[in-house]
């Protein structure tokens, strides 16, 4: 096993896998250390929608770049069920129309092509969506991927460069020497590298603290349900029109996997923002199950009677402004890429690119200052 590498990436979720691929492609010997199995934490539990719709306005250039990078990865390595199925965001009430129109205006100004559809137009795209919605927005370029296969594909890209991936290696502390990073201590012993990237999702702040780096990341509870597999009914990613207050005001995402399982991550009455420890993974809330099933059947009444198969809870890593912390942090050679705000799958390729550009001193394709690790401390001091 390699005990020394050019760069160590802590965590083999989608962010770590993408970072390893980016660094290996630029010629570095990379070592990925994962405490569990690749994709086994938040990433594998994701609904993995790849899109720009109703996201952070300032991040639209980066999100657009990320969507194109995912499409490009699919052209190079079509092994992760990339499906450009489009995304609908339904409106239950007339008073949501203004919000939908505002989002459409913002995205069109950024060169994207969302539309507002009436129920008949919605049914032409999504015939099973027969519930009494008043309208829906349509973002034709959104896609979904299989999250496990996407992580595996990125790690394959990394390995075809010169990366090693070690599962079951818990990084317990960062090692510094003379004020710069020198490696990591792990459950398998010490590994040395002059560059360490922590892509540890909701565990990132704990490891960073071992080098006296404080990160404002909070774990936020996200819940999901899956039915048994059924005939193809849902063609797109179906979500609720984003209300003011974002996730706190309620959130819905429904889609059908290639396996035929209907997956939904639906809370219209709030309740997804409970915080907790990523180690303590509780059951999903009863109210969440009720709201989710109600919403699914409101939209797709023909799915009544479909059995639920499983549920799961994960803790996403959230920062005060819902944007990643990506870039150098603390001692020279230490980098962080975490704090996904619940949409880290789509943004992972962009975060990996920013890390690579920061290390190489090259220019990133989009603004990277939005993700400065020190931005909250700088704002507090101002
Ligand atoms: C239900 C659900 C639906 C979602 N839907 C979407 C969506 O549609 N679109 C979207 O863009 N995003 C979505 N997300 C969010 C997205 O999945 C996450 O933002 C993304 O997966 C985070 O990836 P990550 O690599 O940062 O974290 P993780 O996948 O958690 O990876 C971090 C890894 O680091 C490892 N690790 C941590 N600490 C250590 C250590 N000390 N030593 C060794 N290893 C360590 C962990 O074991 C873990 O494997 C969803 C999330 C959930 C839960």
Q: What is the CATH classification number for the domain harbouring 38? A: 3.50.50.60
- The alpha carbon of 15 and the centre of ligand 1 are apart by a number of angstroms equal to 7
Tell me whether residue 60 is in a domain.
no
- The alpha carbon of 41 and the centre of ligand 1 are apart by a number of angstroms equal to 6
Domains identified in the chain, total number: 2
- Residue 205 sits in the same domain as residue 94: no
Tell me whether residue 362 is in a domain.
yes
- Residue 184 sits in the same domain as residue 243: no
- Residue 334 sits in the same domain as residue 251: no
Neighbours of 320 (CB within 10 A): 13
- The alpha carbon of 326 and the centre of ligand 1 are apart by a number of angstroms equal to 15
Report the pocket of ligand 1 as residue ranges, CB < 6 Å. Answer: 10-16, 33-36, 40-43, 45-49, 170-171, 199-201, 203, 207, 222, 224, 253, 265, 314, 316, 338, 340, 342-346
* End position of a domain, from candidates 317, 332, 354: 317
Residue nearest to atom 3 of ligand 1 (CA): 46
Closest ligand 1 atom to Cα of 36: 47
- The alpha carbon of 44 and the centre of ligand 1 are apart by a number of angstroms equal to 7
For residue 207, the SS3 value is helix
Predicted confidence at residue 382, as pLDDT, reads 75
- The alpha carbon of 17 and the centre of ligand 1 are apart by a number of angstroms equal to 11
- Residue 301 sits in the same domain as residue 348: no
- Residue 309 sits in the same domain as residue 329: no
Which residues face 7 on adjacent strands?
Answer: 30, 195
Tell me whether residue 136 is in a domain.
yes
**Does the ipTM exceed 0.90?**
yes
Q: Minimal CA–CA distance to 255: which of 84, 2, 73, 23?
A: 84
* Domain, as residue range, for 232: 87-140+218-317
- Residue 223 sits in the same domain as residue 254: yes
> In sequence order, which residues have a C-beta less than 8 Å from that of residue 130 and are 6 or more positions away?
123, 300, 301, 302
With a cut of 70, list the residues of the chain below it in pLDDT.
1-2, 243-251, 266-282
Tell me whether residue 135 is in a domain.
yes
Tell me whether residue 52 is in a domain.
no
Closest ligand 1 atom to Cα of 207: 41
Tell me whether residue 297 is in a domain.
yes
Closest ligand 1 atom to Cα of 347: 11
- The alpha carbon of 146 and the centre of ligand 1 are apart by a number of angstroms equal to 14
- Residue 167 sits in the same domain as residue 309: no
- Residue 247 sits in the same domain as residue 330: no
- The alpha carbon of 232 and the centre of ligand 1 are apart by a number of angstroms equal to 28
- Residue 39 sits in the same domain as residue 115: no
- The alpha carbon of 229 and the centre of ligand 1 are apart by a number of angstroms equal to 25
- The alpha carbon of 116 and the centre of ligand 1 are apart by a number of angstroms equal to 32
Ligand 1 pocket check: which of 292, 316, 346 to mutate, most ligand atoms within 8 Å of Cβ?
Answer: 316
- Residue 203 sits in the same domain as residue 347: yes
Closest ligand 1 atom to Cα of 37: 49
Q: Is there a contact between 338 and 324 (Cβ–Cβ < 8 Å)?
A: yes
Q: To which residue do tokens 């009430």 refer?
A: 93
Predicted confidence at residue 281, as pLDDT, reads 62
- Residue 171 sits in the same domain as residue 225: no
Closest ligand 1 atom to Cα of 17: 25
* End position of a domain, from candidates 292, 317, 342: 317
Return the C-alpha torsion angle 15, 2, 23, 141, nearest 10.
-40
Predicted confidence at residue 41, as pLDDT, reads 92
**Tens digits of per-residue pLDDT, 292-319?**
888 899 999 999 999 999 998 888 888 9
Closest ligand 1 atom to Cα of 253: 8
- Residue 132 sits in the same domain as residue 158: no
Tell me whether residue 66 is in a domain.
no
- Tell me which DSSP letter residue 268 carries: S
b/e for 45-56, b at 16 or more Cβ within 10 A? bbbbbbbbbbbb
Closest ligand 1 atom to Cα of 265: 1
- The alpha carbon of 309 and the centre of ligand 1 are apart by a number of angstroms equal to 22
Tell me whether residue 51 is in a domain.
no
* End position of a domain, from candidates 286, 317, 348: 317
Closest ligand 1 atom to Cα of 172: 41
Q: CATH number, domain at 307? A: 3.30.9.10
């Amino acid at each position: 096993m390699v005990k020394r590498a050019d760069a160590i990436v802590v965590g083999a979720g989608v962010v770590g896998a993408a970072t390893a691929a980016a660094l290996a492609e630029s010629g570095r010997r990379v070592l990925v250390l994962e405490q569990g199995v690749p994709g086994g934490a938040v990433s594998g539990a994701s609904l993995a929608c790849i899109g720009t719709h109703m996201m952070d306005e300032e991040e639209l250039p980066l999100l657009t770049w990320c969507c194109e990078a995912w499409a490009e990865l699919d052209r190079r390595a079509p092994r992760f069920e990339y499906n450009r199925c489009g995304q609908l965001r339904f409106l239950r009430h007339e008073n949501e129309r203004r919000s939908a129109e505002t989002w459409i205006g913002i995205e069109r100004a950024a060169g994207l092509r969302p539309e507002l559809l009436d129920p008949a137009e919605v049914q032409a795209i999504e015939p099973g969506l027969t519930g009494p919605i008043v309208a829906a927005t349509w973002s034709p370029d959104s896609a979904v991927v299989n999250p496990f296969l996407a992580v595996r594909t990125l790690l394959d890209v990394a390995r075809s460069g010169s990366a090693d991936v070690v599962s079951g290696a818990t990084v317990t502390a960062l090692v510094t020497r003379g004020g710069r990073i020198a490696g990591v201590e792990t459950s398998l012993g010490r590994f040395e590298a002059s560059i360490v990237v922590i892509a540890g999702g909701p565990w990132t702040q704990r490891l960073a603290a071992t080098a006296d780096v404080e990160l404002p990341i909070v774990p936020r509870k996200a819940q999901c349900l899956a039915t048994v597999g059924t005939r193809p009914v849902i063609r797109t990613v179906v979500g609720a029109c984003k209300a003011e207050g974002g996730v706190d005001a309620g959130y819905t995402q429904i889609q059908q996997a290639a396996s035929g399982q209907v997956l939904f991550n639906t809370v219209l009455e709030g309740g997804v923002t409970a915080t907790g420890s990523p180690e303590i993974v509780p059951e999903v809330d009863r109210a969440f199950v009720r709201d989710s099933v109600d919403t699914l059947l409101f939209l797709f009444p023909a799915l009544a009677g479909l059995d639920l198969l499983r549920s799961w809870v994960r803790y996403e890593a959230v920062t005060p402004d819902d944007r990643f912390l990506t870039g150098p942090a603390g001692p020279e050679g230490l980098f962080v890429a975490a704090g996904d705000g619940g949409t880290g799958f789509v943004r992972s390729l962009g975060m990996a690119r920013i890390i690579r550009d920061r290390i190489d001193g090259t220019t990133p394709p989009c603004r990277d200052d939005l993700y400065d690790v020190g931005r909250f401390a700088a704002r507090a001091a101002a």
